[in-house]
Amino acid sequence: MPLYVRAGSLLPLGPIKQYTGERVDQPLAILIYPGNDASFLLY
């Protein structure tokens, strides 16, 4: 399945969860796509 991402985007990816409050011990991966400057705020 193709994934279209805007140039300069930062895409945080985490492990699969069964529900939003579930705690996981795996690290978060951040994919950085080249291009314009971008930023994001991770809560």
Residue 22's pLDDT is what? 92
Residue 19's pLDDT is what? 92
9 closest CA partner among 41, 34, 42, 27 = 34
8 A C-beta contact, residue 11 and residue 41: no
The distance from CA 35 to its chain's CA centroid, rounded to whole angstroms, is: 17
Counting as low any pLDDT under 70, the low residues of the chain are none
Residue 7's pLDDT is what? 86
Q: Model pTM?
A: 0.57
Residue 39's pLDDT is what? 72
Residue 3's pLDDT is what? 81
